[in-house]
Chain A
Amino acid sequence: MTRFTYPMLATAFGLLLWQFLVWVTNAPHFILPDPLRVATTAISSRALIAEHALVTATEVLLGLLIGSVLGAVTAIQLAAAPRLARLVLPLLVFTQAVPVFALAPILTLWFGYGMASKIVMAVLIIYFPVTASFYDGLTRVPPALLDLASTMGARKSQVMWRIKIPHALPALASGLKLAAVYAPIGAVIGEWVGASKGLGYLMLLANGRAKIDLMFASLIALALFTVVLHKSVSLLAAKLDGPR
């Protein structure tokens, strides 16, 4: 048994279930195409899918990078200034009550139909999980450790840099892993609302033309990209965790 055995078994099970549903419902292929038809379309349209996937991947990666940096910097600022945190944290929570989906039309209006509005969507959707998880880690350093640092005459900046941030890296890693899954959602929502490129756009286009097999192929490409991204971020996060 290798570490790939279970994921492959799960994939095979999923495909079988899909095929089974096609048989049982006897749905026409423009409603529910079978796996083989989708695979054939994916191969024949690979250049088209790759072209749009590249756009979405760029939006997601830039959004992930910008959102993570902004979130991490915010968390450090808030942890360094508890009064500011008391003021800002409730505001941050409040902003989470606004569904990002509802913001998409406004963002498209403000930032246009190009990549910018999708990157902003991805940034907005991951900013809070990254900030919240890293901030949690930064403020949960054992008090005794801070007492020790205080008796050593530590500088505040050094305590942040040498104790709080390393201590909070596993928490940041958790936030980044969540972000890797959320960022594609943000980008695709942005593409649905208004775009001329990207997997979200291609899915809408295929749907509108009753090319459901292409829509499924695009969807699977998006899912595969998200899985790879999540795995890559998890590997990076394992480095952040370090040998403890």
Chain B
Amino acid sequence: MGHGVVRGVTRAPEITLTGSYGLETRPLFASTQMRLEAGQWTCLLGRSGVGKSTILRLILGLPTQGRFIGTVTADDGHPLDGRAGYMAQTDLLLPWLSVRDNVVLGARLRGERPDLDKAHAMIDRVGLGAYHDKKPAALSGGMRQRAALARTLMEDRPLVLLDEPFSALDAGTRADMQDLAAEVLRGKTVLLVTHDPAEACRLGHHIKLLSETGITSWAVPDAPPARDVDDPQTLQAQAALLAYLRGTS
């Protein structure tokens, strides 16, 4: 897997994806370039089926259904193997394991001895201090995503790819999780795939819009993320982005 090669490289890298991608029957996106700035959040939006999750999978090195012609590189020249963490729309917690055992899953799957003290700290950090020994079934949807976030933090990867991780949560819990994620993932290079203009305008240092013709950038509000939910400029940007997405869909 090559994880040992780059374990020491912990600085958040800048990632550049260049190329085109198509399914057997049709092209998905034309020749394009997308850059994830080092240590910042990039939010990727676009209509369903346009290939947002595909971009995320390409960066993660996961198999996709179509054919990608291009490259995914880091500015430090090291391969991305073992440097990217992943959080999906569903929490992917193993129902037969406690929160603690779920959080140390990565180490166990690599055949390493898990650092339980660190796991303890990560679980506390996401606010699940009272739930170390609980099974996922005993947690609410928001708490389960917190546990998934703790598992992502435990991996301590400089690059983190988030595939709509908050989309299934209720509005209040979602806003809480956005704040928490912005805080605990600070300094990492983050790609957040989302459907939600409000989420992108709150969290993104950069907002990218993906369509069949390629990737375009969208202006973000001046305030640094995570922006307040009632920040006028953020609300304005969110409304403009929504109007644009409605117009193009």
A binds B: yes
Q: Could you tell me which A residues sit within 8 Å of B by CB distance? A: 142, 144-145, 147-155, 157-159, 162-163, 166-167, 242-244
B79 at the interface (CB under 8 A from A): no
Q: Looking at B60, B62, B155, which has the most chain A CB atoms within 10 Å of its CB?
A: B62
A244–B95 CB distance below 8 A: yes
Partner of B92 from the list A148, A154, A242 (CB cut-off 8 Å) is A148
Q: Could you tell me which B residues sit within 8 Å of A by CB distance? A: 1, 3, 57, 60-62, 81-82, 84-86, 88, 90, 92, 94-96, 105-106, 108-111, 135, 137, 155
Q: How far is A171 from B240 in the complex, measured between Cα atoms in Å?
A: 50
Known: A144-B90, A145-B92. A153 touches B62 (CB 8 A): no
Q: Which of chain B's residues has its CB closest to A159's CB?
A: B109
* CB neighbours of B111 from chain A (8 A): 155, 157-158
Q: Which of chain B's residues has its CB closest to A166's CB?
A: B96
Partner of A163 from the list B3, B86, B88, B94 (CB cut-off 8 Å) is B94
A151–B109 CB distance below 8 A: no
B105–A152 CB distance below 8 A: yes
B88–A152 CB distance below 8 A: no
B106–A152 CB distance below 8 A: yes
A243–B135 CB distance below 8 A: yes
Distance from B77 Cβ to chain A, minimum over Cβ atoms (Å):
20
Q: How far is A157 from B96 in the complex, measured between Cα atoms in Å?
A: 19
Q: How far is A159 from B137 in the complex, measured between Cα atoms in Å?
A: 22
A151–B62 CB distance below 8 A: yes
CB-CB nearest 9 A-B residue pairs: A154-B109, A152-B106, A151-B86, A153-B3, A153-B1, A244-B95, A158-B109, A148-B92, A166-B96
Q: List 19 A-B contacts (CB under 8 A).
A: A144-B90, A144-B92, A145-B92, A145-B94, A147-B88, A148-B92, A149-B109, A151-B62, A151-B86, A152-B106, A153-B3, A154-B110, A155-B111, A158-B109, A162-B108, A166-B94, A166-B96, A244-B95, A244-B96
* CB neighbours of A242 from chain B (8 A): 96
Distance from B53 Cβ to chain A, minimum over Cβ atoms (Å):
11
Q: Which of chain B's residues has its CB closest to A151's CB?
A: B86
Q: How far is A243 from B92 in the complex, measured between Cα atoms in Å?
A: 17
B96–A155 CB distance below 8 A: no
Partner of A244 from the list B61, B109, B137 (CB cut-off 8 Å) is B137
Known: A153-B1, A153-B82, A244-B96. A158 touches B88 (CB 8 A): no
B96–A148 CB distance below 8 A: no
Q: Which of chain A's residues has its CB closest to B85's CB?
A: A151
* CB neighbours of A144 from chain B (8 A): 88, 90, 92
Distance from B90 Cβ to chain A, minimum over Cβ atoms (Å):
6
B62–A147 CB distance below 8 A: yes
* CB neighbours of B96 from chain A (8 A): 166, 242-244
* CB neighbours of B110 from chain A (8 A): 152-155, 158
* CB neighbours of A162 from chain B (8 A): 94, 105, 108-109
Q: How far is A152 from B110 in the complex, measured between Cα atoms in Å?
A: 8
B62–A150 CB distance below 8 A: yes
Q: Which of chain A's residues has its CB closest to B89's CB?
A: A144
Partner of B60 from the list A142, A145, A151, A155 (CB cut-off 8 Å) is A151
Q: Which of chain A's residues has its CB closest to B101's CB?
A: A162
Known: A153-B1, A153-B3, A159-B109. A148 touches B155 (CB 8 A): no
Distance from B160 Cβ to chain A, minimum over Cβ atoms (Å):
10
* CB neighbours of B84 from chain A (8 A): 151
Q: How far is A144 from B60 in the complex, measured between Cα atoms in Å?
A: 13
Distance from B214 Cβ to chain A, minimum over Cβ atoms (Å):
26
Q: Which of chain B's residues has its CB closest to A144's CB?
A: B88
Q: How far is A68 from B88 in the complex, measured between Cα atoms in Å?
A: 36
Q: How far is A144 from B92 in the complex, measured between Cα atoms in Å?
A: 7
* Given A148-B92, A158-B108, 14 extra CB contacts under 8 A: A145-B94, A147-B86, A147-B88, A148-B86, A150-B61, A152-B110, A154-B110, A155-B110, A159-B109, A162-B108, A166-B96, A167-B94, A243-B135, A243-B137
Q: How far is A152 from B85 in the complex, measured between Cα atoms in Å?
A: 7
A152–B109 CB distance below 8 A: yes
Q: Which of chain B's residues has its CB closest to A155's CB?
A: B111
Q: Looking at A148, A154, A157, A166, which has the most chain B CB atoms within 10 Å of its CB?
A: A148
